[in-house]
Amino acid sequence: MTVHQRDWQAFVTPGKDGAVHMDLAVDGITCAACMGDIERGLKRLPGIRTARVNLTSQRLAVDWVEDQTGADEIVAELTRLGYKAHPFDPASQKDRQDRTGKELLRSLAVAGFAGMNIMLLSVSVWSGNATGIEPETRDFFHWLSALIALPTVAYAGRPFFRSAFRALASGRLNMDVPIMIGVVLAVALSVVQTVQHQHHAYFESAVMLLFFLLVGRYLDHNMRGRTRSFAENIAALKAEVAARILPDGSVREVPLSKVSAGDLVLVSAGERVPVDGVVETGMSEIDQSLVTGESILVAVDRGQRVYAGTLNGSGSLQVRVEAASGATLLDEVNRLLEAASQAKSKYVRIADRAARLYAPLVHGAAGLTFLGWLLAGMEWQPALVIAISVLIITCPCALGLAVPAVQVVASGQLFRRGVLLNTGDAIERMADIDTILFDKTGTLTLADPELCSPFDLQDPVVRLAGRLALASRHPLSTALVRATGAITPLPEVKEVPGAGLETMVEGATLRLGSPQFCGASAEQIEDALREVPGASLLAIRFGDGPVQLLPFRQSLRPDARAVIDRLKAEGYALEIVSGDTEPSVAGCAEALGIAHWQAGMKPAQKIVRLEDLQQSGHKVLMVGDGLNDAPALAGAHVSLSPVSAVHLSQAAADAVFLGDRLQPVADALRLSKRARAAIEQNLWISGLYNVIAVPVAVAGFVTPLMAAVAMSASSLIVTANALKLRWGEGRPETGAGPAHLPAEKAEG
């Protein structure tokens, strides 16, 4: 949409043999036909080496020879084919290869293949023990098992060992510490048993344990990777770029990561301001609702500060990029954000809480077993064998799967309902909530203003004004165009920056713009504002006729009332904290039936209100989108943010919801409660398993066969219990999965 050139060098990365590589997020790939269309269409361009669509992540990777085709031609060809595409900023996409995921999958494969081979040998030994195997053969099989198991544990156990050492180094206990101790002891004990020609070795237990735990880890990682890559696609399709003005005066569009403090950036009319900075030249009106929560446009002039995420109105601005300094809103938000996120990091995940309880208990039981058998007159070595078998049987196989299995299933369900999780433990925290704080602008309401009084569509003056509005990209003009459905623009439109539009129709002047520009009286403005409190006014005047005032306001999300009613019925305490003016917040609260509301809140006041509630024992869910909500989002027990929010808020929130409806908020709460219940059941199941297994182990009756069966059975039960979450949850009511509704609202 922008007229200036894009600096393609900033988006492509060099590939092999003089070729270049570019990754694009492509919107609207839904089926195999799209995939074929895009790949075949691109291959017709000269110089294209490979064009490959990834249907899972909805991305396109293109390699081509640079001097034969330009990147802009590729994007143009995609547009011609009917797909909106935008290249990724290479800097924002560091993890293209997904190293962690591949390492986990490799470890999983090694553990799986090793486990199968060892199990073959073990089954032979177990049946041989019953039927009279020769000791030499058994020793041989045990040595072979050791040969496979030792390198496998060293290789496939690395993710756990690393995490356990990190936890121990910082003086904490997590689930990986007992896992590491259990696995290492099991292998060490088995080697000792093998050397001593004993009947039993536990190699297969150690490897199988790693296999099951790696399954849990991999699922967990995949869940996060999927939501993250989806969020990256949305960010790329929002076209987070800046138009940098070079010293020679030419303008190049570059990714945000290539803009630094001191650069001059051009912000055209109707665009979002990409950076924080000071206006160097130009004047305009700015919609700051994403930053301050106020829905009224603010006039900006030379020397004034503008913030990333705000929407520029009618004039174009040159903005000098600034690293934040001094007492600005952004600094305050950053400071509050830091303080708030520190407070929140105190939350301990359920799995880690279980580990804190579990590790001392199990190790204590093993120690007592050892002492008990010694006191009962046993030699120290067999007593040690029994103690270690207690550790093996209690090794947290089911416990390691209990939480990730549920999180994977629940996050998949949430994903289908348009909720993307930033953090896995958000589900646990969301289940505790009893109070919900809503921001108003952009959260309860939609981000774009809408005409909110009845008007006569047949009125020729309004229709003319709609056509006149096509000439401007001012937010109110675009709203008027939407309302009137105008298509043909009027000729010879003159734009008066910061005031309005003017043209001649049939010899008379038609004006559209601020009430002052059209000559509206102060009384008339007052009357209009009394009728629709907190509205932005757009005035029309045709010739010497009367001035018509059209009030605009962000309208409520279509299902807001229904969702709020349901949340109230479910017993949540609801409250609105908004930065907007009192009349408009009051109107919104009344329309939704929310009794508690506060208007004109600054970021710090929102935090104070939040802390008051949390100190009186409430668990608060914060739902907000603006920069002014970011600290509250970070400080709340758990937080949600709509996809239209500013980047900082999305990053501070625990989850992001898509689309125009408020329903995902209610869905997220309901699903989290079920998921939380499933997590607790799973923990009880693994607890119960231990209650049965430990006495058997303490008594010294545990054989490797029992360990293998108990381990697999408990893991399967826990996984099945997690899958239960999917039952009774059909497709979401409105059909469309997140794949179909992203980013339509992206460009304000």
Contact 701, 425 (CB under 8 A): no
Q: Which of 532, 466, 475, 541 shows the shortest CA–CA distance to 511?
A: 541
Residue with tokens 């010899």: 507
Give the angle subtended at the CA of 379 by the CAs of 377 and 383, to the nearest 5°.
95
Report the alpha-carbon distance of residue 475 to residue 721 in Å, rounded.
50
Diameter of the chain by CA atoms?
114
User: Minimum distance between the CB of residue 225 and other proteins, rounded to whole angstroms?
Assistant: 12
Give whichever of 35 and 361 is closer to other proteins, judged by the CB atom. 35
Give whichever of 56 and 325 is closer to other proteins, judged by the CB atom. 56
Give whichever of 119 and 461 is closer to other proteins, judged by the CB atom. 119
Give whichever of 129 and 268 is closer to other proteins, judged by the CB atom. 129
Give whichever of 54 and 478 is closer to other proteins, judged by the CB atom. 54
53: three-class secondary structure by DSSP: strand
Please, what sign has the CA dihedral across residues 683, 689, 692, 693?
negative
Q: Which of 234, 246, 217 shows the shortest CA–CA distance to 88?
A: 234
Q: Which of 356, 348, 343 shows the shortest CA–CA distance to 428?
A: 348
Q: How many CB atoms lie within 10 A of CB 173?
A: 17
Contact residues: other proteins, CB under 8 A? 31-32, 35-36, 39-40, 53-57, 102, 105-106, 109-110, 113, 116-117, 120, 134, 137, 140, 144, 148
User: Minimum distance between the CB of residue 156 and other proteins, rounded to whole angstroms?
Assistant: 12
Give the angle subtended at the CA of 597 by the CAs of 596 and 598, to the nearest 5°.
140
Report the alpha-carbon distance of residue 77 to residue 88 in Å, rounded.
17
Q: Which amino acid is at 705?
A: L
User: Minimum distance between the CB of residue 574 and other proteins, rounded to whole angstroms?
Assistant: 40
Give whichever of 148 and 599 is closer to other proteins, judged by the CB atom. 148
Give whichever of 230 and 597 is closer to other proteins, judged by the CB atom. 230
Question: What is the rounded radius of gyration, in angstroms, for the C-alpha atoms of the chain?
Answer: 32
User: Minimum distance between the CB of residue 305 and other proteins, rounded to whole angstroms?
Assistant: 44
User: Minimum distance between the CB of residue 105 and other proteins, rounded to whole angstroms?
Assistant: 6
User: Minimum distance between the CB of residue 50 and other proteins, rounded to whole angstroms?
Assistant: 12
Contact 432, 637 (CB under 8 A): yes
User: Minimum distance between the CB of residue 13 and other proteins, rounded to whole angstroms?
Assistant: 17
Report the alpha-carbon distance of residue 537 to residue 291 in Å, rounded.
21
User: Minimum distance between the CB of residue 77 and other proteins, rounded to whole angstroms?
Assistant: 16
Alpha-helical segments (H) within 49-156: 71-81, 99-131, 135-156
From the list 176, 220, 425, 439, the catalytic residue is: 439
Please, what sign has the CA dihedral across residues 78, 27, 740, 475?
negative
Give whichever of 358 and 415 is closer to other proteins, judged by the CB atom. 415
User: Minimum distance between the CB of residue 55 and other proteins, rounded to whole angstroms?
Assistant: 4
The contacts of residue 240 (CB under 8 Å, 6+ apart) are: 89, 255, 256, 274, 647
Contact 83, 19 (CB under 8 A): no
Report the alpha-carbon distance of residue 596 to residue 211 in Å, rounded.
52
Q: How many CA atoms lie within 13 A of 151 on its CB side?
A: 7
The DSSP output letter for 692 is: H
The number of residues in the chain equals 748
Give whichever of 137 and 250 is closer to other proteins, judged by the CB atom. 137
Give whichever of 65 and 116 is closer to other proteins, judged by the CB atom. 116
Give whichever of 144 and 378 is closer to other proteins, judged by the CB atom. 144
Contact 25, 85 (CB under 8 A): yes
- Told to judge if 439 belongs to the known catalytic residues of this protein, a careful annotator would answer yes
User: Minimum distance between the CB of residue 109 and other proteins, rounded to whole angstroms?
Assistant: 5
Report the alpha-carbon distance of residue 117 to residue 121 in Å, rounded.
7
User: Minimum distance between the CB of residue 87 and other proteins, rounded to whole angstroms?
Assistant: 19
User: Minimum distance between the CB of residue 57 and other proteins, rounded to whole angstroms?
Assistant: 7
Report the alpha-carbon distance of residue 315 to residue 625 in Å, rounded.
26
Contact 580, 599 (CB under 8 A): yes
Q: How far is CA 189 from the centre of its chain?
A: 44
- 427 burial class (0-12, 13-18, 19+ CB within 10 angstroms)? buried
Q: Which two tokens stand for residue 716?
A: 């399967």
3-state SS, one letter per residue, for 492-513: CCEEECCCEEEEEECCEEEEEE
Give whichever of 105 and 604 is closer to other proteins, judged by the CB atom. 105
Contact 131, 173 (CB under 8 A): no
Q: Which of 540, 524, 537, 553 shows the shortest CA–CA distance to 460?
A: 540
Which residues are designated catalytic? 439
